[in-house]
């Protein structure tokens, strides 16, 4: 039996726990998600190292999964645009059962291996694409179909699973096994297995964006302000990075379309916005590179 399907030996009387003990059982078990990710850190780093050159060459991040795993992939993909100004067309999420499965469970969709391959091929994969394949069991047919289609297309495949010796991890170019073990509620991988997958996706996509110079120091300097909160954040980030007053920061931001990177370079180098934009372009988008030019 898969570890993720095995009844937990720690909580055989879960349904009789007093409420404080019940809450503690769920919360405490989440620490195992973090431990499993830490144990897989070398493989996560290997995936990022292999992915960065492809993404830098114009590739896309393609997420593939079913159920909880698939929805986590969708979540990571859609957040890249507001966080890093990452083009929406370069973060593609494929969910077994299609968009409707984001809100309603589509029974049996995860068992269709051929549909996984068709969906992946419909996305027209290239050799520069990085395909992140998620399956807690490690053997979801939909995900395996997409995995093999992606490999045949020459894309980099990263398999993320929660069971050892699973096809999704073993047959991908880079396999990441998150050995989270039995769930508090037997087989409910929306619990710590899902948490571990979200941590890995956050880590991979965020680290790639750091390597693509979308972070300066530890600041989100390439965000896309799409609401009042984010517009206010651009001002705070610019003030923090440059030491400029709020009025001066806002004035430069308005001139450059609230592009924090450009505002930082313009203020710190004391150059006009067009020159700051040119320095950033010459430095490949690196704020540090532009400041040292």
Active site residues: 79, 110
Contact between 102 and 132 (Cβ < 8 Å): no
Contact between 139 and 167 (Cβ < 8 Å): yes
Contact between 103 and 97 (Cβ < 8 Å): no
DSSP β-ladder status, 215-216 and 219-220 = antiparallel
Q: What is the dihedral sign for C-alpha 147, 49, 198, 222?
A: negative
Residue whose C-alpha is closest to residue 199's, from 160, 144, 233? 160
In eight-state DSSP terms, residue 91 is: E
Report the length, in residues, of the chain: 293
d(CA 73, CA 75): 5
């Amino acid at each position: 039996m898969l570890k993720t399907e095995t009844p937990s030996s720690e909580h055989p009387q879960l349904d009789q726990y007093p409420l404080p003990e019940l809450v503690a059982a769920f919360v405490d078990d989440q620490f195992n998600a973090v431990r499993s990710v830490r144990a897989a850190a070398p493989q996560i780093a290997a995936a990022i190292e292999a992915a960065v050159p492809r993404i830098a060459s114009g590739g896309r991040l393609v997420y593939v999964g079913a159920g909880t795993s698939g929805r986590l992939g969708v979540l990571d993909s859609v957040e890249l645009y507001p966080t890093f100004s990452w083009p929406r067309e370069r973060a593609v999420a494929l969910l077994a059962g299609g968009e409707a499965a984001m809100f309603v469970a589509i029974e049996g969709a995860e068992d269709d291996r051929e549909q996984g391959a068709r969906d992946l091929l419909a996305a027209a994969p290239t050799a520069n694409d990085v395909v992140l394949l998620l399956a807690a069991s490690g053997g979801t047919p939909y995900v395996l179909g997409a995995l093999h289609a992606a490999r045949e297309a020459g894309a980099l495949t990263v398999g993320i699973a929660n069971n050892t010796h699973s096809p999704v991890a073993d047959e991908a170019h880079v396999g990441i096994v998150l050995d989270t073990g039995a769930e508090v509620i037997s087989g409910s991988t929306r619990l710590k297995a899902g948490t571990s997958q979200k941590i890995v996706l956050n880590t991979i996509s965020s680290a790639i964006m750091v390597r693509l110079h979308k972070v300066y120091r530890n600041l989100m300097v390439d965000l896309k302000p799409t609401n009042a909160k984010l517009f206010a954040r651009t001002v705070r980030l610019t003030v923090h990075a440059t030491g400029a007053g709020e009025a001066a920061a806002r004035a430069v931001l308005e001139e450059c379309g609230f592009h924090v990177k450009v505002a930082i370079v313009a203020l710190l180098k004391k150059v006009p916005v067009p020159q700051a934009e040119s320095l950033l372009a010459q430095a490949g988008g690196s704020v540090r590179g532009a400041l040292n030019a």
